[in-house]
């Protein structure tokens, strides 16, 4: 049972995936998905779209079509060539054998076939120019070079020979060779465009995934780091204070909050489409009430001064809160300070946040852990800057300047 509903009838949100190109998933409430056939015309349209989306499948289809055209032209010509008709048939086995070669060897073979077919043509066998254009297309489209030229050169050479044998104006070979080359260039441009589109989509998806992981890691650090540190501070304060029961109640409340927010993050890990709303948006007043108070319970003096009108929107307030949260957490864990100061003032078009303490100061070779990395990411996302320096007289100063919101 789950929420009063039998387990076998519980609704589980899943993504339907088409198992067969000729089938579609149909949903019925309370039942498993059923598979029903698509209409025949829709199946044909879907298959054509699938082929056009894949440049490799288009290349194979174009190769077959061009090969059939070449075979049809070469086998139907019955004369009007500078050589006996049987000679031109040699390009068929040569071309078929070339298909078994790697592209870099296949390309010159097609180029030679293009030049040969065009060279033996005359005005009486002008249709051979179509076969020559086909070989130019195959050579150019298969060429792995960035600027293919072998097929173009072979076709032009054959056209020049054919025109030289003709006693009258005979420009058709050049036209056929040019058309075959241009079609191949257009196909190569389309294929590269499709490849770049796929790569761009993949990179965008990866970037979104990485951004989501970074955001989730920052949220997880905020939840675990702050709440666990607060629990440690409250436990130590309870040992020294007069009311250990109050400290235990505060620890229990903090633990419950941490578990609730962690549960929300786990739900998001299972379902990336779920919103990460771990808590209500914090207020600037929460800095003194929620962040500074645990340090005071530990015996640390914390002075908080916040400008009532810093000029920040909700995102800026959240950034300030998280920076102070990380800073006071580090003070409680590492600084060995007796006094800490939190100041937020507006300076021109900037809101300046300064968190300082009189502790041992920053390490000589500070390690940029998850907290400092998260501070940098948040400040950069707002278009601001930040620095961590040693305080005059001892201690540490973390200062962040954030742009204010235009009125």
Do 340 and 376 share a domain, yes or no?
yes
- Angstrom distance (rounded) from CA 136 to CA 153: 9
Q: Is residue 319 part of a domain?
A: yes
Q: Is residue 193 part of a domain?
A: yes
pTM: 0.47
- Angstrom distance (rounded) from CA 256 to CA 135: 74
CB-CB contact of 316 with 351 (8 Å): yes
Choice among 105-119, 140-154, 200-214, 216-230 with the minimum mean pLDDT: 216-230
- Angstrom distance (rounded) from CA 223 to CA 277: 12
Chosen domain end from 143, 164, 197: 197
Q: Is residue 272 part of a domain?
A: no
Quote the DSSP letter at residue 2. B
pLDDT for 239: 67
CATH of residue 310's domain is: 3.30.565.10
- Report the relative pairing of strands 350-357 and 385-390 from DSSP bridges: unpaired
Q: Is residue 338 part of a domain?
A: yes
- Angstrom distance (rounded) from CA 133 to CA 162: 14
- Total domains in the fold of the chain: 3
Do 41 and 121 share a domain, yes or no?
no
Q: Which domain range does residue 72 map to?
A: 52-197
pLDDT for 4: 41
Residue 317 has pLDDT above 50, yes or no: yes
pLDDT for 119: 86
Over range 124-134, report the average pLDDT: 85
Residue 205 has pLDDT above 80, yes or no: yes
Six-digit token string for 180:
């075959």
For 163, the enclosing helix (H) or strand (E) is helix 150-165
Do 389 and 310 share a domain, yes or no?
yes
pLDDT for 28: 38
Do 38 and 64 share a domain, yes or no?
no
Point out which residues pair with 36 in neighbouring strands.
Answer: 24
Chosen domain end from 136, 162, 197: 197
Do 22 and 70 share a domain, yes or no?
no
Closest by CA position to 217, among listed 384, 383, 387, 378: 378
Coil, strand or helix at 400: strand
Chosen domain end from 169, 197, 225: 197
Rg (C-alpha) for the chain, rounded Å, is 37
């Amino acid at each position: 049972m789950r929420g009063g509903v039998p387990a076998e009838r519980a609704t589980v949100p899943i993504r339907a995936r088409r198992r067969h190109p000729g089938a579609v998933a149909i949903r019925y409430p309370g039942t498993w998905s059923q598979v029903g056939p698509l209409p025949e015309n829709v199946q044909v349209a879907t298959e054509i779209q699938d082929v056009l989306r894949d440049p490799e499948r288009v290349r194979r289809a174009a190769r077959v079509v061009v090969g059939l055209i070449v075979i049809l032209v070469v086998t139907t010509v019955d004369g009007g060539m500078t050589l006996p008709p049987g000679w031109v048939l040699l390009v068929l086995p040569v071309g078929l054998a070339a298909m078994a070669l790697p592209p870099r060897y296949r390309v010159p073979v097609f180029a030679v076939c293009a030049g040969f077919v065009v060279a033996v043509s005359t005005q009486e066998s002008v249709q051979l120019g179509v076969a020559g254009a086909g070989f130019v297309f195959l050579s150019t489209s298969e060429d792995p070079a960035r600027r293919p030229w072998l097929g173009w050169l072979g076709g032009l050479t054959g056209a020049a020979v054919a025109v030289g044998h003709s006693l009258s104006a005979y420009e058709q070979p050049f036209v056929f060779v040019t058309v075959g080359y241009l079609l191949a260039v257009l196909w190569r441009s389309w294929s590269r465009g499709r490849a770049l589109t796929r790569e761009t989509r993949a990179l965008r998806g990866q970037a979104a995934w990485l951004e989501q992981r970074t955001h989730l890691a920052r949220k997880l650090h905020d939840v675990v780091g702050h709440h666990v540190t607060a629990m440690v501070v409250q436990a130590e304060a309870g040992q020294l204070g007069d009311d250990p029961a109050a400290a235990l109640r505060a620890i229990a409340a903090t633990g419950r909050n941490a578990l609730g927010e962690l549960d929300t993050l786990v739900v998001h890990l299972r379902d990336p489409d779920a919103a990460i709303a771990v808590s209500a948006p914090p207020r600037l007043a929460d800095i003194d009430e929620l962040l500074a108070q645990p340090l005071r319970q530990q015996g640390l003096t914390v002075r908080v001064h916040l400008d009532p009108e810093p000029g920040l929107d909700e995102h800026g307030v959240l950034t300030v809160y998280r920076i102070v949260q990380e800073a006071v957490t580090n003070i409680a864990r590492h600084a060995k300070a007796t006094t800490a100061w939190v100041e937020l003032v507006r300076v021109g078009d900037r809101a300046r946040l300064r968190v300082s303490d009189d502790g041992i100061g920053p390490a000589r070779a500070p390690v940029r852990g998850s907290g400092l990395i998260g501070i940098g990411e948040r400040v950069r996302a707002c278009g601001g800057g930040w620095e961590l320096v040693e305080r005059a007289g001892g201690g540490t100063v973390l200062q962040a300047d954030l742009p204010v919101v235009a009125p």
